[in-house]
Chains A and B, each alone.
Chain A
Amino acid sequence: MENDRAESGSFRDRQNQVFYRDGGVFRYLSVQAAAEWQALAATRFFKRRMDEGSLVETQAVEEPAADAGPWAALLRHDTIPFISYPYEWPFGMLKDAARLSLDLLDDALSEGITLKDASAYNVQWSGARPVFIDIPSFERLKPGAPWVGYLQFCRMFLYPLLLQAYKEVPFQPWLRGQLDGIEPTNFAHLMSWRDYLRPGVMTHVVLHSKMQTSYAEQSGDMRRQLKTAGFNRTLIQSNVRGLRRLVGGLTWQAAKSEWSDYAGQNSYEAADRDAKMAFVRTAAQSRRWTRVWDLGCNTGDYSRIAAENADYVVAMDADPLCIERLYLKLKAEGNRTILPLVMNLVDASPGQGWRGQERKTLAERGKPDLVLCLALIHHIVLRAHVPLAELVESLAALGAALVIEFVTKEDPMARRLLQNKQDDDADYDLPHFEKYLSEWFQIDRRQPLASGTRTLYFATPRTGR
């Protein structure tokens, strides 16, 4: 149909195609995929998992249109509020996505179904709840077939988690740097003798890497041989359950400790904090918002206020530890409306993959109608050296209303940033900030805080600019 828009990240699997129509998410299935869908839809676990919300709500639509080409069936999926990628998740989110993938595979195997891949991109989020979205990944298990996704699971889930848990190295830049995840051979090179003794390393990393290299040329033969040898689903389940225990036991040490000293870290005083809460609440209550971006969300307190009057809030911070803590809290609360993401605004997720379109920039995934930018501006201008006017212009480009806090150079936090460096930002002051802001926005409300170094603004985009 004319108004159908194909999803640019959906092309690897030739058996289906995701597209958007009138705000809904649809998926065409080939003859083969349609048969697999029939088999899946008849299982008990499928209905149970969909009811509990860990599988995306999916219905078969009556008939594909006559002009649908080679497609045999059409599915409609519930819309995921905001697409995110594994390189934007903290440790706990990748871990929970891994657990969901393994649990679904285990469930499926018990009913003769398997998952034909194990991509981390198959998991999305509804707030702090993981949702598996790639329905055509389920197919009937062929007799004697191994778990084809095992290697992919290691690359996209297990190695990144081990990297953080065993080596204290953030995995996000690695997953962003290579969309297929970390190669067994490369990861094995990172392991020390001490690591060899840690759970999972000898088998899933060292031996896996060696065997990947040694047996690389015997692919065709190997499947046949496994089948002849009597390979069956109980072997896959044994591996899957072992991985489930391994992943379940992984922890990020830093996230376990240091919890207490975080909330009280802000320099502004309690009085400022209450006033700020009230200001954000009044701004948020001025209307109902579809999508809020909280940039530099820290503990997520303001995301929560915004969520009172918004359908969905994307809470972003460059600090993975901040986001990990926010995620764990939201998860414990069963939150479905706040999505915590690791995101550095001055090094934000790019468009990448095939044609730079497979994985998208933030704005391409859904612009906000309200942006919170609190206690952030001094980091971006004074530390990351983005010119003030440029920052304001980039926020204006989002076309959203804005709650922003200006922090003067006299503020203790700003002073700390400038302590050991030359101050090149002559225009970093309140009059210039208001001038830049007024070029793009209409300032609806303005409130200096009691500390004297911080001012809050609620601004709406000027129409006709």
Chain B
Amino acid sequence: MIEIRGLRKKFGSVEAVRDVSFTANDGTVVGLLGPNGAGKTTTLRMLSGLMIPDAGTIRVDNVDVLADPVGVQKHMGFLPDSRGLYPRLTPIEHIEYFGQLHGIDGGTLRARATNLMAQLDLNGVANRRVAGFSHGERTKVALARALIHQPRNVILDEPTNGLDVMSTRSVREMIRRLRQEGCCVLFSSHIMQEVSALCDRIVVIAQGVVTADGTPAELRKLTGQDNLEDAFVALSGLEVEVTS
């Protein structure tokens, strides 16, 4: 479970995140939806413990991220904005490296890695160096290594961004599987269809502020728009900007 309260972060004079609060429960998929530059990545980076907020609290499974970042990281799978792989290593080596850093090894590690690669259709390239991999293959390797320690909380920053249909499908299946297993899944996106296809709840964020929080149906009701995309446009304040 993830609880974020009153998060703020400033870079110089730019307030990237002004007031973000929301809760993501176990066994649900929460979508963090917002246009580019809304503060999604900054929010997630603070959640990962690598970026220190100017104000606000973040609790993951009742552990304060600021007080015990390592303790939180042990049970968190995080697919960051930068997928950064090692060009001279193979997918299996990537996955096993992160697994070992989490203290998993031997047969357990091998079995989990094989299982993840099968779920993400990576078996064909398992022993090939990742230099020259497609964007989709890279994302899937990054996702697999983020999940090797079977985290209870999974945070994905724009997981399907730039992926082809097949890769998108296997990533979506992975997200559904995680929800079934009772994980708390939080992912960010700027794509409406993505969010509506997967999420139990949507948190809309615009210019660093949460403008709406609810189920897809609630959001449609809130804005009076039948179409979720229209609801999104209304909530992110884009239309106002365009018309004014």
**Is this pair of chains taken from one and the same complex?**
no
Using a CB–CB cutoff of 8 Å, the interface residues on chain A facing chain B are none
